[in-house]
Chains A and B, each alone.
Chain A
Amino acid sequence: MDIKLIRNLSLGGLIILVISLFYYQVIKGDMYLNRAQANYIRVVSKEAIRGTILDRNYETLAYDRGAFNIAVIPYQIKDNKEELFSKISRLAKVKKETLTINYNRNFRSPFYPVDILIDIDKEKALALKEELGEEVIIEEIPQRHYPFGKELAHILGYVKRGVNVSNNSDVYGYIPYQRVGLAGIEKYYNNYLAGRDGGELLEVDALGKIAGFLGANHPKKGKDIVLTIDLRLQRIAYQLLSEYKRGVIIVMDPRDGQIHVFCSQPSYEPNQIMRGVDFDSILKAEDNILLNRGIQARYPLGSVFKPILSIAGLEEKKITSNTTFICEGRYRLGNLSFECRSAHGKQNLIEALAHSCNVYFYNVGAILDIDKIAKWAKKFGLNTLTGIDLPYEKSGIVPDQHWKITNIKSPWFKGDTLNVSIGQGYLEATPLEVLVAISAFANGGYLVKPHLVKEIEGENISLSPSKFLDLSLSHINEVKKGLEAVVSWSNGTAHLLDTLKLSIAGKTGTAQTIGKSHGWFVGFFPSSSPKYSICVFLENVGSSSEAVKVAYDFLKEAKNKGIISQEEIKR
């Protein structure tokens, strides 16, 4: 009898069991304990309500309303998953692949609800529940809504649900589809708007039945934000711009940089993005509708640069208000000829601004030379971000000799200087930069920081100080007189605006570019103590007169509606 062999064999067997037990229960114990907890502990996430966004008169611009998710528990549907998905696909009119993709992406454990349909409306959700009963779970979730859609899209931006977008350790539990602002105010102030998500810890059994309650962390609502935007004015601006293919209207308080209107055309429908449909069509749409042309596109300035060149000449003591140049319709440089719109004859500073005489400014530019011009263009912020509270702002370009060598790989010519003198050539800026620069003539020489947010949860936002340019007041007033003449003189380029009786000062610009010229009007009113500055910019409309017309229509409508009144602005 070979009992020893049998004994050794079985002893070996028992030792294998002991080693294996030790491996699972001691070495891997914690890992398996976690997995056991993942089985029976369910975190039911409760998403925080996002802060509401309001305009300066407390009109609601963006808010959360209820939407629904449909979830399934994998273990419960393991035998009829395909069949169930086909049914849901038919009932909810969604592609079956979408359900499968969502299912695979959101699967965590056999017992954790998996979202297969996200953000559907109440009727659809209730219909599914009624039809499918215990097989599906309805979860109510907040969904963002923008009642004014396209009219404020570039300011407000939008939110999207992303998978695991946040690494925030404060989050209690797991929010598979946390919302995050991806553009505009929604992005810039996401931390304030988002609030804190919460959840409940429940004990559940293998069938998903709740067996116990372990704890809860209540979600905290995000903070409400009040904008400086005036919805009434914004809507007028949007209405007027929608007649044009591409353009921008910005209205700002030149004293502190509060933005009243910020409208960029073309625009997009943010609610469409909320519903998660067809983001591609938005991306591929003509004219890049997601682009906020007020801060994300650079344009040649044309004649709206002339006030800046004027103050440069005065401050550098190269000209005085009495300096005159004779305009014979062109300026000669060697055998090159630089044109003016007409032969203006003898022009002083005010006349040159009122008539927008190129020859006068060619002369000023030639005297100053490019280094001085660039110095002053930079001083007025044309190559720096304005610092507005919106994401993805771009800055303009102020060229000089060094810039041209590094970027164009070519030396600087005198002709380049003449081009820059009338806001052409390589000089480019965003409409907001131009507005902020021209506003310096309205507020006595300050470069304000434009901003859109007035209050966060009832508390006024502290303003960052404006940059003082340290200009001589008399110089500012001399340029200002020129800007007033643009409107008040019968042969001024924006004389149309005079009939509004708002004592507007400003400058038009017809900026040459590839294709038809861009039209500019940048100004402020009332010129004695300005409360509003305005920039109207229209892409490829041919001439500044279109911009002046839009400015006129806009201000007239605002006046007719009593939003801007002579009494108010005189106060």
Chain B
Amino acid sequence: MRFNIRLFILCIIILNCLSLIALNSSLHQEGEFSGKEQFYKQIVWIFVFWIVILVFYFINYRVYFNLSFYIYILSIIFLLGVKLWGKEIMGAQRWIPLGEFNFQPSEFSKLAVIILSARILSLDVKRAIFFRKLILPLILISISFILIFKQPDLGTAMLIFLIFFMMSLSSDIKKRYIIYMLILGLVLLPLIWVKLADYQKKRVIVFLDPNVDPLGAGYTIIQSKIAIGSGKIFGKGFLAGTQNQFNFLPERHTDFIFTVIAEEFGLIGSLFLLWIYGNILKNILNKTREVKDNFGQFLCIGIFSLLFLQIFINIGMTMGLFPVVGIPLPFLSYGGTHLLITAISLGIFLNIVKQW
């Protein structure tokens, strides 16, 4: 199967439209369009999104190979910066205010990790592959991990590890080394548990059984499941989701935007969305095969992993398959930084497409 650029662009435009539809609905309350401002902001963001794609489309992706360490160091500086000048929203320090816009350094870290990993994994080394391609990058990424984990943002912290592991799975490192590392990670999980904030522990506990705290930590997941399930096959219709419109569902324009789609457009709508995502992901993999440059290939896999993991974890989270962690749904969730990072990733990818 060859990469199909027209289909790829069309799918992204469809996602932009779906994002606006779902946001429009989620920003309504009892038939009143109460979140107009955010909706118009998102329209502006979608314009910015395409401009960013266009800008990065014209930047030769090989530049990043040489810049990869500097980019990574910059991401670490950003993370330290957020520690010093960060703005606290809802108990977490994740944002650096830049005028109207709150920049989220941990989003930038995702990209930095992808570029760094692509460089390390694409190097042609003969000796000490295990150390140079697995241990060394893991140590480097751990710095970001700890800084993001401390914000606290468990979801993004885990995500950067998972992105790296997915990329390493496609490399020439022996699979069993990777599996050893994963097992080591599992063994170290209790250590992380001790370091978790109370609200994070609660989230994990209610993930195992949401009913232990139906009005607290378990609330969102219970209401989200009710919303998704009650959509049934055909959904309740646009602006007719009761969980959404009557305000039973928190965070519905950001992390739980999928729930709005599932409630109002049912299984049909949800499957359509997954099909569009599937098309985009499939096209990225198809292109990866055609790329004759190792670094380019790993960049593609990194971008693929970033999109796939976020889609999988976010949608899984809305159905209680994963604990509630702050991972947005690519293209759909409201919010600037993650859309910007998605745009940069796509711009880089399209430049690779242009080159090959």
Residues of A within 8 A of B (CB): 1-3, 5-7, 9-10, 13-14, 16-18, 20-22, 24-26, 28-33, 35-37, 39-40, 74-75, 78, 110-111, 203-207, 211
Taken residue by residue from 286 to 326, chain B's Cβ proximity to chain A (1 for < 8 Å, 0 otherwise) reads as 00110000000100010011001000100110010100000
- A residues in contact with B246, CB < 8 Å: 39-40, 203-206, 211
A25 touches B262 (CB 8 A): yes
B262 touches A26 (CB 8 A): no
Contact flag A9-B166 (CB < 8 Å), given A25-B270, A40-B246 = yes
- A residues in contact with B262, CB < 8 Å: 21, 25
A6 touches B301 (CB 8 A): yes
Main secondary structure, interface of B, reads helix
Known contacts A9-B169, A35-B226; 11 additional CB pairs below 8 A are A3-B170, A3-B289, A3-B301, A14-B277, A17-B315, A21-B319, A29-B230, A33-B229, A36-B242, A37-B242, A40-B248
Assembly CA distance A14 to B271 (angstroms): 10
Residue of B nearest to A207 (CB): B247
- B residues in contact with A37, CB < 8 Å: 230, 242
Main secondary structure, interface of A, reads helix
- B residues in contact with A205, CB < 8 Å: 29-30, 246-248
Contact flag A17-B316 (CB < 8 Å), given A3-B289, A32-B226, A74-B215 = yes
Taken residue by residue from 137 to 181, chain B's Cβ proximity to chain A (1 for < 8 Å, 0 otherwise) reads as 000000000000000000000000000001001110000000000
B229 touches A31 (CB 8 A): yes
- B residues in contact with A29, CB < 8 Å: 229-233
10 tightest Cβ-Cβ pairs between the two chains A and B:
A32-B229, A36-B230, A29-B232, A78-B215, A206-B247, A205-B246, A24-B229, A33-B230, A25-B267, A32-B230
- B residues in contact with A17, CB < 8 Å: 274, 312, 315-316, 319
Contact flag A40-B242 (CB < 8 Å), given A2-B170, A6-B169, A29-B229 = yes
A75 touches B267 (CB 8 A): no
A206 touches B248 (CB 8 A): yes
Assembly CA distance A28 to B105 (angstroms): 40
Rounded to whole Å, the gap between the CB of B303 and the closest CB of chain A is 12
Rounded to whole Å, the gap between the CB of A196 and the closest CB of chain B is 29
A26 touches B230 (CB 8 A): no
B350 at the A/B interface (Cβ < 8 Å)?
no
Rounded to whole Å, the gap between the CB of B161 and the closest CB of chain A is 15
B81 at the A/B interface (Cβ < 8 Å)?
no
B274 touches A25 (CB 8 A): no
Assembly CA distance A37 to B152 (angstroms): 36
Contact flag A6-B316 (CB < 8 Å), given A18-B274, A36-B226, A39-B246 = no
B166 touches A32 (CB 8 A): no
Rounded to whole Å, the gap between the CB of A488 and the closest CB of chain B is 81
Rounded to whole Å, the gap between the CB of A61 and the closest CB of chain B is 46
Residue of A nearest to B231 (CB): A25
A21 touches B270 (CB 8 A): yes
Assembly CA distance A71 to B277 (angstroms): 47
Assembly CA distance A203 to B262 (angstroms): 22
A26 touches B232 (CB 8 A): yes
Assembly CA distance A20 to B320 (angstroms): 10
Rounded to whole Å, the gap between the CB of B176 and the closest CB of chain A is 14
Within 8 A of A (CB), among B168-221: 169-171, 214-216, 219
Rounded to whole Å, the gap between the CB of A116 and the closest CB of chain B is 16
Contact flag A3-B267 (CB < 8 Å), given A17-B316, A207-B247 = no
Assembly CA distance A482 to B344 (angstroms): 118
Pick from A20, A35, A203, A207: contact of B321, CB below 8 A: A20
Contact flag A25-B170 (CB < 8 Å), given A36-B242, A39-B246 = no
- B residues in contact with A25, CB < 8 Å: 228-229, 231-233, 262, 266-267, 270
Assembly CA distance A111 to B29 (angstroms): 17
